[in-house]
A and B are shown apart, each in its own frame.
Chain A
Amino acid sequence: MKAEEEQLVGRSPGQLMWIRFKRDRTGVISASVVIFFFLIGLLAPVVSWLYGKNPYTVYADERPELFDSAGVPVQPNGGISGEFWFGLEPGNGYDVFTKLLYGIRTSLGIAVAVTLATVLTGIILGVTAGYLGGKADYWISRVIDFLLAFPAQLFFIASMPVVVSLFVSPRDETPVYVRVVALILVMWFLGWMSLGRILRGTTLALREREFIEAAKVSGAPPGRIIRKEILPNVVTPILVQSTYMLPNFVTAEAGLSFLGVGIVEPTPDWGQMFSKASTELVMQNDITYMFFPGISMIIFVVAFNLLGDSVRDAFDPKTAR
């Protein structure tokens, strides 16, 4: 009897998607890689505690015997040793391993925050435009068109100092959190439109479906229709789009930090490590330094994009790529 009951429980579209996803080997592997990166970011303090170092210690002062007069690690390959797994940074002599862990933590944290903010904005504006139609739809769509016409990278670079100066006077020292908030704000401002547009289209199509009319006939208020009938049906595009958006935000954030308008020393950051790697001192004396942030970011972005493709395939098995 028990077994019979279990057999009759239907599989939801979400469960079917999960079953399809589990069969996709690329998807499962890239998902584990992505999860691994998020775990590193989350557990960075724990790992560095076990490892016994932190990314702020200036080893050039603490252990001057490891560096030559120019501040370059004496040992080959940037001072990689049993003690400093990924070597030491020329100049200040930060530990590269913990710096990378914390850098991943900062970059992923910012990217996740931007993704959440853009998804929320995209849902609110996109679903509103699609469901209400008419004037609301017209104006929200025009705003989307207007913002899409902005050159994003240029806008980020130009507006970052402006946004930062909104919070603190240029003469004072800028706290780290202000830079983080400014980065999130700037990327959110130009990040939500693509999802908003997709959700508007999907909602527009859903609104004409008969099950929405059925809900109206039974007297459902608009809030309930949006929550119970429309939102569960737009989960697919939201999930697929956010898995594409998140790695983009990671690279965008890294790009800004590389250009010097994002996170600055001594706060560890993925992109800022590239910036460090391209300075004359590091370029000429320690080419291995570039290796660690570079390889890890390539692996992360490729894995996340493959995951995005797999998620899309799992949700939407009929469309060819």
Chain B
Amino acid sequence: MTEDLVLPAPRDAVTDAPGEPLLEVEKLVKHFPVKGGFPIRRTVGQVQAVDGIDLTVHVGESFGLVGESGCGKSTTGRLITKLLEPTRGRISYRGKDITRATRRELAPIRSEIQMIFQDPYASLNPRQTVGKIISGPMEINGLQPDGGREKRVRELLEIVGLNPEHYNRFPHEFSGGQRQRIGVARALALEPKLIVADEPVSALDVSIQAQVVNLLQKVQQELGIAFLFIAHDLAVVRHFSQRVAVMYLGKVIEVGDRDSIYTRPRHPYTHALLSAVPEVNITGEEAAQRERIRLAGDVPSPISPPSGCRFRTRCWKAQDKCASEEPPLVQLSGNHTGHLTACHFPEDPTIEARDEDIVLDPALAALEEGAEDD
């Protein structure tokens, strides 16, 4: 489509050296109050959606955030884009504290942090033309690009692989993938430095997913935009991200560069997640056998999370220490620099098959038992 299109260089690329921290999140906490009681409604509990996480996204880096549904990854994204007010903690952008910034105080950096949303059917105003949707952010921020906003919008449409002639069309005339491209163009309109992509492809068809991920990757590499890529699809994150953090129940339990997380994971939960990725072996060749871990049960309620290590209720290695003491997120011996794990009893840094599969699900275990007996 537009594979050989040259993208314009970002405006002030010189000011940022890659590797410098762009966004820093420290001890970020978001609790949602649970109201109840009659006749006087009062707070009866707290949903601990995000409970003290630390993240750093560097200039031009793509950072992946993975985890099960309800582990707080989307809340984290919304906290960073200031759609939600954090309960505690600190968010700083280029060293400037924006945790409690009001809309006016935020105005100068608003254009630098943008967001791509999950549902392309809900993220575009059905009553506005594509042109209006994409030029809206420029209008709000008083951006006046050379040649006018309309020309810039047409350029952006071309960058995201749409026909510039679609300027006057309405969102309902597009497919899901095209709508998501419009969403990407809207995020790019302000020439941001950081884009928070909240599950940008999980609502799309698998064949379209690849196109959109490739578009995002092209944008990320050629425009040097840092990405916080939130997803539950490990394969997509592996394809896209240089560094990955794994979240479980509001905590970051392991963070590191892509290879460390995907080939030398230490946390049992990361092992379990990786083992749950389906594997397609078309050639029939005997590839290196992967370990097999099947967890049982659901994620515990974030209203009353387990004490100590939050994963201990589903962990096969849990001991008394795990219930009493919360494991710190530290670099374990034998790990690469920057590969941090929060576990008292880490696994070996390998994903190869072990002597015995770990099947915690009693139903599945019984099934397999029966199959062996036959």
Contact surface of A with B, Cβ cutoff 8 Å: 5, 8-14, 209-211, 213-221, 224, 228-229, 232-233, 235
B115-A213 in contact (CB<8A): yes
The chain B residue with its CB closest to the CB of A206 is: B125
Q: Which of chain A's residues have a CB closer than 8 A to the CB of B166?
A: 8, 10
Q: Which of chain A's residues have a CB closer than 8 A to the CB of B354?
A: none
With the chains together, A221 CA to B106 CA distance in Å? 12
Give chain A's interface secondary structure class. helix
Known contacts A217-B115, A220-B140, A224-B140, A211 near B165 by CB under 8 Å: no
A232-B127 in contact (CB<8A): yes
Known contacts A10-B173, A233-B126, A233-B127, A218 near B136 by CB under 8 Å: yes
The chain A residue with its CB closest to the CB of B81 is: A217
Going nearest first, the 10 A-B pairs with the smallest beta carbon separation are A10-B169, A218-B137, A219-B110, A210-B123, A232-B127, A210-B117, A210-B122, A9-B168, A211-B125, A8-B165
Contact surface of B with A, Cβ cutoff 8 Å: 78, 81-83, 103, 106-107, 110-111, 113-115, 117-119, 122-130, 136-137, 140-141, 165-166, 168-170, 172-173, 183, 186, 190
B119-A210 in contact (CB<8A): yes
The chain A residue with its CB closest to the CB of B127 is: A232
Q: Which of chain B's residues have a CB closer than 8 A to the CB of A218?
A: 110-111, 114, 136-137, 140-141, 186, 190
A12-B127 in contact (CB<8A): yes
With the chains together, A218 CA to B140 CA distance in Å? 7
With the chains together, A13 CA to B130 CA distance in Å? 13
A11-B170 in contact (CB<8A): yes
B125-A10 in contact (CB<8A): no
With the chains together, A160 CA to B335 CA distance in Å? 84
Q: Which of chain A's residues have a CB closer than 8 A to the CB of B83?
A: 213, 216-217
A10-B170 in contact (CB<8A): yes
A10-B168 in contact (CB<8A): yes
With the chains together, A210 CA to B121 CA distance in Å? 9
With the chains together, A233 CA to B165 CA distance in Å? 25
Known contacts A8-B165, A218-B137, A13 near B125 by CB under 8 Å: no
Kindly provide the distance from the CB of B260 to the nearest chain A CB, expressed in whole angstroms. Answer: 32
Q: Which of chain A's residues have a CB closer than 8 A to the CB of B168?
A: 8-10
The chain A residue with its CB closest to the CB of B130 is: A10
With the chains together, A149 CA to B169 CA distance in Å? 46
B114-A219 in contact (CB<8A): no
With the chains together, A233 CA to B127 CA distance in Å? 7
B126-A13 in contact (CB<8A): yes
The chain B residue with its CB closest to the CB of A230 is: B125
With the chains together, A223 CA to B364 CA distance in Å? 56
Q: Which of chain A's residues have a CB closer than 8 A to the CB of B183?
A: 214
| Most chain A CB within a 10 A radius of its CB, from B118, B125, B173 | B125
A-B contact pairs, 28 of them (CB 8 A): A8-B165, A8-B166, A9-B168, A10-B166, A10-B173, A12-B129, A13-B170, A14-B127, A210-B117, A210-B119, A211-B123, A211-B124, A213-B83, A213-B115, A213-B117, A213-B123, A214-B117, A215-B140, A217-B81, A217-B113, A218-B110, A218-B136, A218-B141, A219-B141, A220-B136, A224-B140, A233-B126, A233-B127
B117-A219 in contact (CB<8A): no
With the chains together, A13 CA to B119 CA distance in Å? 20
With the chains together, A214 CA to B200 CA distance in Å? 13
Q: Which of chain B's residues have a CB closer than 8 A to the CB of A8?
A: 165-166, 168-169
The chain B residue with its CB closest to the CB of A233 is: B127
The chain B residue with its CB closest to the CB of A218 is: B137
The chain B residue with its CB closest to the CB of A214 is: B123
Q: Which of chain A's residues have a CB closer than 8 A to the CB of B169?
A: 8-10
Starting from the known contacts A213-B83, A233-B127, 18 additional A-B residue pairs (CB-CB under 8 Å) come to: A9-B169, A12-B170, A13-B127, A211-B123, A211-B124, A211-B125, A214-B183, A217-B82, A217-B114, A217-B115, A218-B111, A218-B137, A218-B186, A219-B110, A219-B111, A224-B140, A233-B125, A233-B126
The chain A residue with its CB closest to the CB of B163 is: A8
With the chains together, A221 CA to B78 CA distance in Å? 18
Q: Which of chain A's residues have a CB closer than 8 A to the CB of B107?
A: 219
With the chains together, A213 CA to B196 CA distance in Å? 13
The chain A residue with its CB closest to the CB of B167 is: A8
Kindly provide the distance from the CB of A211 to the nearest chain B CB, expressed in whole angstroms. Answer: 4
Q: Which of chain B's residues have a CB closer than 8 A to the CB of A13?
A: 126-127, 170, 172
Q: Which of chain B's residues have a CB closer than 8 A to the CB of A210?
A: 117-119, 122-123
Q: Which of chain B's residues have a CB closer than 8 A to the CB of A233?
A: 125-127
B103-A221 in contact (CB<8A): yes
With the chains together, A235 CA to B126 CA distance in Å? 12
Kindly provide the distance from the CB of A6 to the nearest chain B CB, expressed in whole angstroms. Answer: 10
Q: Which of chain B's residues have a CB closer than 8 A to the CB of A220?
A: 136, 140
The chain B residue with its CB closest to the CB of A7 is: B165
Kindly provide the distance from the CB of A113 to the nearest chain B CB, expressed in whole angstroms. Answer: 28
The chain A residue with its CB closest to the CB of B165 is: A8
Kindly provide the distance from the CB of B307 to the nearest chain A CB, expressed in whole angstroms. Answer: 34
The chain B residue with its CB closest to the CB of A14 is: B127
Kindly provide the distance from the CB of A110 to the nearest chain B CB, expressed in whole angstroms. Answer: 32
With the chains together, A14 CA to B128 CA distance in Å? 11
Q: Which of chain A's residues have a CB closer than 8 A to the CB of B140?
A: 215, 218-220, 224
With the chains together, A10 CA to B166 CA distance in Å? 8
A10-B129 in contact (CB<8A): yes
Q: Which of chain B's residues have a CB closer than 8 A to the CB of A215?
A: 136, 140
Kindly provide the distance from the CB of B162 to the nearest chain A CB, expressed in whole angstroms. Answer: 12
Q: Which of chain B's residues have a CB closer than 8 A to the CB of A9?
A: 168-169
Kindly provide the distance from the CB of A232 to the nearest chain B CB, expressed in whole angstroms. Answer: 4
Kindly provide the distance from the CB of A156 to the nearest chain B CB, expressed in whole angstroms. Answer: 35
A228-B114 in contact (CB<8A): no
| Most chain B CB within a 10 A radius of its CB, from A14, A211, A216, A228 | A211
The chain B residue with its CB closest to the CB of A232 is: B127
B186-A214 in contact (CB<8A): yes
Q: Which of chain B's residues have a CB closer than 8 A to the CB of A11?
A: 170, 173
Known contacts A9-B168, A10-B173, A219-B110, A209 near B136 by CB under 8 Å: no
B125-A229 in contact (CB<8A): yes
With the chains together, A211 CA to B140 CA distance in Å? 15
The chain B residue with its CB closest to the CB of A224 is: B140
